[in-house]
Amino acid sequence: MTRQEAERQAQEYYKQRRLESDRELMRRERRARSEISGLDELMSKRASLPVSALRAAMANPDRAREISLEMREKGLELNRKIRETLLHAGYPENYLSPAYECAACKDTGFTETESGVKPCACFEKRVNALLSSEKNDCFTGACFEDFKSDFVPDKPLDGGVTQRMLTERIRDACIDYVKTYPDTLYRGMILSGNAGLGKTFLLSCLYNEFRKKGIGAVAISSFELMEKIRTAYFHQDDAKEAFEELESTPVLLIDDLGSEPIMRTISLEEYLCVLLNERMNRKLHTVITTNLTPAQFKDRYSERVMSRLADKRYWDHLRLRGDDLRRA
């Protein structure tokens, strides 16, 4: 993919994103209007304000300025009442405001500065993620034999092990995971630790070994995973299939969970929950790598997702520690 193509794809993303947030807003509005008493009336009043003000101004051109000020006042008053009504009914007060993923550019990908229109930081980030997610398009090629212990510092860590010993131990656990499949000790494996400790490498090895054994495996970055979830959620019919593949593949490997943009739409997280739940219920194998610590996980994901990940009968949690191998 060239940079230009990545930029085109990113622009398409923003276009979709805005359509989606409009749709989400309409969905919320319908729900709130039908569930909260008095809200429908307030919102209808607010919607009719501009037209009635325009009529009044046309009938009394001399008072046009006053009328427009009055309309502004009434609008603010109605907004206040709507917020109060929402709060009172137990909804967040911004429930009916657009949920932008990026507040800086309101999901346009561009910001206006004094020197003109400029790509937003989120745009650059997205383009780079697209370029790199293709580069490691990835997960192919690596194998456990390529794992060179000498590259891992033999530096002591807490608990009487060195970084090399710990890394070798976790590599061996990964080798066992493929060897004993489907009768692994645990069906799920979470490989955590700071960036640069070899998690993605191990995940790629796992992926390739499974493929070599003819076992259906899908490896996906969490960035792509969330894109798939998003499309499945908003364009349900055509994207359902892609999501079903994730739910049913014998082995699913998710790389770098927690690096995806934060999901502002609760329902998207719900899908992640459904995905984990389905895989656990169907007794399928799942591997996750992450840079997040358990505390960061809690900050980031909902209780429901957390409770799936905390299931000790399903998940084996292996934590890599030590120095960044890329700098060693």
Q: Which residues bind Zn ion (CB under 5 A)?
A: 102, 104-105, 120, 122
For Zn ion, the closer CB: 127 or 170: 127
Shortest CB 119 distance to Zn ion, Å: 9
Count CA atoms closer than 13 A to 128's CA, side-chain side: 8
Q: Positive or negative CA dihedral for 88, 22, 245, 141?
A: negative
Output 111 or 293, the one with its CB closest to Zn ion.
Answer: 111
As to burial, measured by CB atoms within 10 angstroms (0-12 exposed, 13-18 middle, 19+ buried), residue 241 is: exposed
* Placement of tokens 């622009």 in the chain: 11
Residue 111 CB, shortest distance to Zn ion, in Å, is 7
Chain center to CA of 223: 7
Q: Which is nearer to Zn ion, 104 or 266 (CB)?
A: 104
**From CA 122, how far away is CA 176, in angstroms rounded?**
40
Specify the residue, 110 or 144, whose C-beta has the smaller distance to Zn ion.
110
**Shortest separation between residue 15's beta carbon and Zn ion, angstroms:** 14
Q: Shortest approach of Zn ion to residue 223 CB, angstroms?
A: 16
User: Closer CB to Zn ion, residue 123 or residue 315?
Assistant: 123
> Which spans in 60-106 are helix H?
64-88
Pick the closer one to Zn ion by CB: 143 or 262: 262
Nearest CA among 218, 211, 309 for reference residue 257: 309
Nearest to 81 by CA among 31, 28, 40: 40
CA distance 19 to 234: 10
Q: Which is nearer to Zn ion, 78 or 131 (CB)?
A: 131
Contacts of 278 (CB under 8 A, 6+ apart): 247, 248
Judge contact between 170 and 320, C-beta under 8 A: yes
**CA dihedral sign, ordered 255, 265, 240, 4:** negative
- Name the minimum Å distance from CB 258 to Zn ion: 20
CB of 108 to Zn ion, least distance (A): 7
Q: Maximum Cα–Cα distance for the chain, whole Å?
A: 87
Shortest distance, position 176 Cβ to Zn ion, whole Å: 44
What's at 288, amino acid-wise? I
Does residue 304 contact residue 270 with C-beta atoms inside 8 Å? yes
Q: Positive or negative, the Cα torsion across 66, 68, 69, 71?
A: positive
16 vs 162, which CB is nearer to Zn ion?
16
Min. distance of Cβ 100 from Zn ion in angstroms?
8
